[in-house]
């Protein structure tokens, strides 16, 4: 597990430093697109949490829920629209939709728009991010970051830089919803993608060493069961 290995070329310029510690001591819910997202129901205290979503949250949350979100993270136009399926929308129209007007949009960006080779379809450059009204922050594929202003975050899945961002803001408890260890594919919900599961386990090491006071709670976990704190919350 490596940390702060790639100096960011544009995080400081794009103002990532202003988010450091702004949610000190608060809890957050991170909504991903895995199948267990459908089982989630609000729980006691959830209304007071910072809320963040990734990729096609417009397909998994109601408009009323989305309007309560503080952050939206995305890093690939392809995955945002693919996960949306029949609700896929033009990215330019989507980003300026009234549903997203009050939330801060952030993109995990690569300077050349490339990351995972064939998987990295539609990855977003810093320039494209700004066109969409979002703040780009730099990703890499090898090292974590606890200093987002200076160093690139670990990528592989949009959930990973989203978690690093929330930690950077001072969040002390993160509830993971719909984080099923796959590529937004129902077939991944039971077994998990081996590549992503490796990095989830590395995440546990990273948080244990650099954020020992932070609690990570997996809501209705399947493939993440036993990695963090497990909690069953269903309607």
pLDDT in tens, the chain (235 residues): 789 988 998 899 889 999 999 999 999 999 998 888 888 888 999 999 999 998 877 666 666 777 788 999 987 665 555 554 444 456 777 777 777 777 899 988 766 555 444 344 456 778 888 888 889 888 888 899 999 999 999 888 889 999 999 999 999 999 999 998 865 544 444 445 688 899 999 999 999 999 999 999 999 998 899 999 999 986 5
In whole angstroms, give the CA distance from residue 184 to residue 153: 21
Q: Which domain holds residue 144?
A: 2-173
Enter the pTM of the model.
Answer: 0.86
State phi, psi for 202 to the nearest 5 degrees: -65, -35
Secondary structure of the chain: what % helix, strand, coil (to 5)? 30, 20, 45
Please report whether residue 189 resides in a domain. no
Please report whether residue 195 resides in a domain. no
Enter the DSSP assignment of 233: -
Please report whether residue 181 resides in a domain. no
Domain count, the chain: 1
């Amino acid at each position: 597990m490596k940390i702060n290995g790639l100096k960011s070329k544009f995080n400081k310029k794009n103002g990532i430093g202003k988010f450091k510690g702004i949610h000190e001591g608060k809890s957050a819910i991170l909504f991903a697109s895995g199948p267990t997202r459908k089982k989630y129901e609000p729980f006691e205290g959830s209304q007071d949490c910072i809320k963040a979503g990734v990729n096609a949250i417009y397909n998994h949350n109601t408009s009323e829920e989305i309007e309560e979100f503080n952050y939206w993270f995305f890093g690939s136009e392809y995955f945002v629209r693919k996960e949306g399926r029949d609700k896929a929308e033009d990215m330019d129209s989507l980003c300026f939709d009234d549903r997203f007007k009050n939330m801060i949009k952030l993109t995990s960006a690569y300077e050349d728009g490339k990351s995972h080779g064939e998987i990295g379809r539609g990855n977003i450059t810093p320039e494209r991010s700004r066109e969409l009204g979002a703040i780009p922050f730099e990703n890499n594929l090898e090292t974590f970051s606890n200093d987002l202003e200076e160093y690139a975050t670990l990528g592989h899945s949009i959930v990973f830089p989203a978690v690093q961002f929330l930690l950077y803001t001072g969040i002390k408890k993160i509830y993971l919803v719909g984080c099923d260890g796959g590529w937004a594919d129902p077939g991944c919900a039971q077994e998990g993608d081996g590549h992503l599961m490796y990095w989830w386990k590395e995440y546990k090491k990273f948080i244990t060493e650099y954020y020992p006071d932070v609690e990570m709670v997996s809501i209705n976990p399947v493939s993440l069961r036993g990695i963090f704190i497990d909690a069953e919350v269903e309607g």
